[in-house]
Each structure stands twice: as C-alpha cells, then as structure tokens.
Amino acid sequence: MSERTMSDKAAEEKLGEYLKRARLAAGIELAELAREIRITPDMLDHLENGRYEKLPVQAYVRGYLNTICTRLELNRSKVLDWYAGEVGRTYAMTISTDLGIEPPAKASVQSGSNKVVIAIGVGILMLFVLVLNIRKGDESSSGEGYTADSLDSVAKADSIAATQLDSGATDTVGLAPVLPPVDSSKVVAPDTAKVADAVAAVAGETTLKFECNKDSTWIRVKKVGGLSWARVVSKGDKPRFLSHSDTMKVSIGSPEKTSLSINDEKVKIPSNYFKVYNGKIVE
C-alpha cells in the first residue's frame, strides 16, 4: 500500500496534532482507529494530544505509531523521528521498531559514566608517570648521566663490608664492587678525622672524607671508566674515606647535610654532583 499524499508536519505543529489531522483526513473516528490498532480510545487521545507521560514506555508508543503509520499510510521514519524529537531522543539512537527491541537507555548512561571514570583514571595514571619521569630526569641531569648503584646493592655491600666500615677503613674506588681487605697501615683511627699518613703519602692520590651532619643522606663516588662506591650514611656514623689518583665523580643526596674534606682540607660542596681530580673540585 502506498503512503497517502499528505503535507508534512508544520514546524509549529505537534506530532499528535499531525496524527489527528491525518486520521480526520482519512475519515476515521478516534474510537474506530483505536479499535483497529488495539489500544484504548483514551490512549489514542493521549497520543494525539501529546500527553506522553500518560502512555506506556517508549517502545510501546513506537509500536503504536508504527501501526498508525501503516493504517493511515504515513511516512514511518518521519513520524518516528518527530516522536523522538519531542521526547528528547533521535531516531538514530533507537533500535528499529520492526524488531520490537527497546534500547537500553540506562545502560548507555551507565556505560558513558564508566567511560568517564576510566578516562579520569587513565589521566591520573599518565600524570603520575609524567611526574615520576620529570623527577627522574632532574636526578639524571644533576648527575650528568651518571647511573648510580641501587640502594639494594648498596645495602648488601654495606652488610658484607661491615667490619671494614666499622673500623673506619679507607674505601678504594674502582677496584671491586665490594670493599677489598684494607691494608692495616692505611686504617684511620675511629676517633679521628685525619687521613692516615700512609694513605696521604701515595703520589698523586686524592683522598675524600665524608661525614653526615644531620639525619641521613646517600653518597655515590665513581671513578671515571671504573666501578662505583655508594653508601647511605647517617649522623653519628664514622667518617667515610675514599682514595684514588684518577678523576672521581661524586653525587650527594643532601649536600647541606654533608661535610667533605679533600686531602684533610675541608671544602664547600658546590652541588649535588661534581668531580674531583688531583686534590681539587673540577667542573
């Protein structure tokens, strides 16, 4: 059956008014049409007067409209679009009424909320990773690319070398990751800050002495091209001594908590990272 030739709904015309005009144009009484489409006359009256709140769920209303369009030979897609516009939805968002399926509106809202929550979570995670990378970059830049030993390795080395460190022994940079046995002639007495004469006497060798003055901090020293020495030191610990004739790269977590002596002469720590060569701070 072809669609009845009838003008479209005017811009100011409501859908119900349009349906009523189409019914009257077809010469059909309200009660007759209600009987044919199997709804009560009151429900059809509500539909023609736009009282959608008095009608069943939208799936049923679309079913009524589908039947009315068939009976009055109206354009089904346009009628359903007009209905969707009046109830605040678009026809593209609805499932075909021919299938008789009601789209899960609440589920869509919930799905949208879940997507927002996920997006926020991902944003927070990305921000957290960005902050970590920035902090890591700051540490790397302050150390000019120096890669320090992990604190786990430092703790293990401290445990293995506890005897030498407790005696105030001199640590040698670049010979081994764990402190080697110390020549007794080079041991510094635990109650003095002076470097043993036997150590200072080595030609061209620079001796560093570190002490923590407050709380705790970490110290890392690396011989250029060699292995590294790293320790966590605390206030009250015995001084730590390191000696070498080559350039030493020094990193200190908290310079303001640390005192440094080079060849038994106290010096000002310039920054978190610096180099020492031939008894002087360079670069």
pLDDT tens-digit map of 168-189: 444 444 433 444 444 545 444 4
Phi (first) and psi of residue 221, to 5 degrees: -130, 130
Same domain, 164 and 208: yes
Q: What is the pLDDT of residue 131?
A: 86
Vertex 85, ends 80 and 91: CA angle to 5°?
Answer: 45
> Of 113, 142, 171, at which residue does a domain stop?
142
Q: What type of residue sits at position 152?
A: D
Same domain, 133 and 236: no
Provide the pairing of β-strand 248-252 with 273-277.
antiparallel
Instruction: Classify residue 268: in a domain, yes or no.
Output: yes
Same domain, 112 and 219: no
Instruction: Classify residue 2: in a domain, yes or no.
Output: no
Beta bridge partners of 258: 212
Same domain, 268 and 192: yes
Q: What is the pLDDT of residue 74?
A: 92
CA 47 to chain centre: 52
Beta bridge partners of 276: 248, 281
Same domain, 234 and 157: yes
Same domain, 215 and 245: yes
Can you list the pairs that 75-83 forms with residues at least 24 positions away whose Cβ atoms lie under 8 Å? 75/3, 78/8, 78/9, 79/15, 79/18, 79/19, 82/9, 82/15, 82/18, 83/15
Q: What is the pLDDT of residue 227?
A: 74
Cα separation of 195 and 218, whole Å? 21
Tokens 């039947």, residue?
A: 67
Instruction: Classify residue 171: in a domain, yes or no.
Output: yes
Sheet strands side by side (includes 248-252): 228-234, 216-223, 248-252, 273-277, 280-282
pLDDT tens-digit map of 119-149: 899 999 999 998 887 876 655 444 444 334 4
Same domain, 99 and 109: no
Q: What is the pLDDT of residue 40?
A: 94
Cα separation of 244 and 199, whole Å? 10
What CATH number is attached to the domain comprising 77? Answer: 1.10.260.40
* pLDDT < 50: residue spans in the chain: 1-2, 4, 90-99, 101, 103-104, 106-107, 140-158, 160-182, 184, 186-201
pTM passes above 0.75: no
Residues 278, 206 contacting (CB under 8 angstroms): yes
> Which domain, by its residues, includes 53?
15-103
Total domains present in the chain: 3
Same domain, 191 and 87: no
Cα separation of 18 and 8, whole Å? 8
> Of 118, 142, 166, at which residue does a domain stop?
142
Q: Specify the DSSP element, H or E, that contains 208.
A: strand 206-212
Same domain, 138 and 261: no
Instruction: Classify residue 195: in a domain, yes or no.
Output: yes
Instruction: Classify residue 1: in a domain, yes or no.
Output: no
Instruction: Classify residue 6: in a domain, yes or no.
Output: no
Instruction: Classify residue 247: in a domain, yes or no.
Output: yes
Same domain, 84 and 39: yes
Instruction: Classify residue 253: in a domain, yes or no.
Output: yes
Q: What is the DSSP letter of 68?
A: H
Cα separation of 101 and 245, whole Å? 85
> Of 89, 112, 142, at which residue does a domain stop?
142
